[in-house]
Amino acid sequence: MNQRTFALIAVSIATLIYGVTYTIAKDVMPNYIKPYGFILLRVSSATLIFWTAGLFIKQQKIEKSDYKKILIASFFGITINMLAFFKGLSLTSPISASVMMVTSPIMVLIFSSILIRKPIGKQRVLGVFIGLVGALFLITLGNSSTANSTNSAFGNFLVFLNAASYGLYLVLAKDLVKKYNPIVFIKWLYLFGLIFVIPFGYSELTAVIWEEIPTNIYWNISFVLLFTTCITYLFNLYGLSKLKPTTVSVFIYLQPVIATIYALIVGSDSLNLIQLCATLLIFFGVYLVTKQVEKSTK
């Protein structure tokens, strides 16, 4: 297999992990660990893992001018991305959150056009409009049917903010991951992210009563720390180094499918008409956006 095939497999595995994470993380928050405390635990664990892994690879010096770029990428790719996602997920349902994440390719296109002056054709403008209408539809009307979803509208908005932040991160990180070894890049990415999230998560993490957490929830926490945090970022970074940002972001198409199937199987969520209609609008909008990109590439 060539490098492109390996990259596609890596991003597919990352997408599968993300898909089941919606329900797995939802079981932890906010009953056992509050969202920001979970993020601090997640980022601090990843920072330790990647800096330890960095000891076993060839050292690579970061150019001084790139520290600022990594800092900005960390702010959007770690801090805003994770804080908004986990806080939003704690307020809304797994299915609604996964549907909202599909807007990420639209945000990639918007930020690409702003930051690297990528032209937007009429079809893509229409796709952006339809996709954002679907997102707005879900935010304003997508009330969750799950009992532990306390504020679905605000939760959906936070997940949309997370999607926008992740889309911007993909654009900002594209050149950096080509320039540096993935471990070298990601260890600095997480270190800066850890500095950012400490003020938000410290009080929530120290308030956790660990002896009251059931064994199955510990397994959920371990899954998020190891697979969702470390494996997905490494696999996505590898994919990003071999594929276009828009190609990587299109894999988010699969997340609602995986998240919905898993949530329905374990009984943590149910599907309603609002979610279906919003999903169709968002998917059609993203289809128009990515279809135009492919034509332009050819």
pTM attached to this predicted model: 0.77
pLDDT exceeds 60 at position 146: no
* Domain membership of residue 26 as a residue range: 3-297
Distance CA 130, CA 249 (A): 18
Band the pLDDT of 118: cuts 50, 70, 90. low
Question: What average pLDDT score do residues 50-70 get?
Answer: 90
Amino acid at position 266, single letter: V
pLDDT exceeds 70 at position 295: no
Question: What average pLDDT score do residues 125-144 get?
Answer: 74
CA distances from 252 to 45, 98, 192 (A): 25, 9, 26
Distance CA 293, CA 251 (A): 15
> Is the separation of the CB atoms in 26 and 155 below 8 Å?
no
Question: What average pLDDT score do residues 32-45 get?
Answer: 93
CA 147-161-117 angle, to 5 degrees, is 155
pLDDT in tens, 268-280: 777 777 778 887 8
SS3 label, residue 17: helix
pLDDT of residue 208: 93
Nearest to 18 by CA among 90, 82, 70, 107: 82
Q: List, as one string, the DSSP characters of 205-248.
A: HHT--GGGS-HHHHHHHHHIIIIIIIIHHHHHHHHHHHS-HHHH
Nearest to 76 by CA among 193, 160, 249: 193
What is the number of domains present in the chain?
A: 1
User: What is the DSSP-derived secondary structure letter of residue 29?
Assistant: T
First to last CA, the chain: 23
pLDDT of residue 142: 59
Amino acid at position 262, single letter: Y
pLDDT in tens, 176-186: 888 888 889 98
Distance CA 137, CA 276 (A): 11
Helices (H), the chain: 3-28, 35-53, 64-74, 81-91, 94-101, 104-115, 122-141, 152-179, 182-206, 215-223, 232-242, 245-250, 254-266, 273-297
Among 56-60, 108-112, 275-279, which range has the highest average pLDDT?
56-60
Distance CA 94, CA 98 (A): 6
Tokens of residue 242, six digits: 């071999």
pLDDT of residue 292: 46
pLDDT of residue 262: 85
pLDDT in tens, 209-266: 999 999 999 999 999 999 988 888 788 878 877 887 667 767 767 777 788 888 888 8
Nearest to 177 by CA among 166, 187, 163: 187
